Amino acid sequence: MNTNTLSPDLLAATHALADALIQAEPFATFHRAWKALNDDATATGLLDAFGAAQADMRRSQMNGGTTKDAVDHMRELQRQVQTNETIMTYVRAQRDAAAYLPGVNMDISNALGIEFATFSNAATC
């Protein structure tokens, strides 16, 4: 992003907002969960295996069908993913951080006097 076009006041406000968001509990929790997930070889291996099984299943379905063994394997991987505490903590933290954003958008909209979410979505298209 070219910060040369932002006024010093807008740039300072943007930095303050970013700092506040990083310190907000939903985002701090998300960051800790993301780090824990990336540090957990078992969890990342499960996610990789599950993603590969999903891709294999899609290819098999496009080519005429899947086997019972492939479906059973996918279900077992899904069960392992859903019972892995590191993965599920990450999923919950991600959901909570996403749920926090509409309130942030509303606060920004109120401060600016415009519908910020609509404005920011239009600016990114």
pLDDT in tens, 3-15: 567 788 778 878 8
- What pLDDT, in 10s, does the model give residues 36-80? 999 999 999 999 999 999 999 999 888 888 889 999 999 999 999
Between residues 86 and 19, the one the model is more confident about: 86
What integer pLDDT is reported at residue 44 of this predicted model? 98
Helix axes 25-39, 85-112, angle to 10 degrees: 150
How many residues are recorded in the chain? Answer: 125
Question: What are the C-alpha distances in Å from 38 to residues 42, 57, 74, 86?
Answer: 10, 26, 22, 10
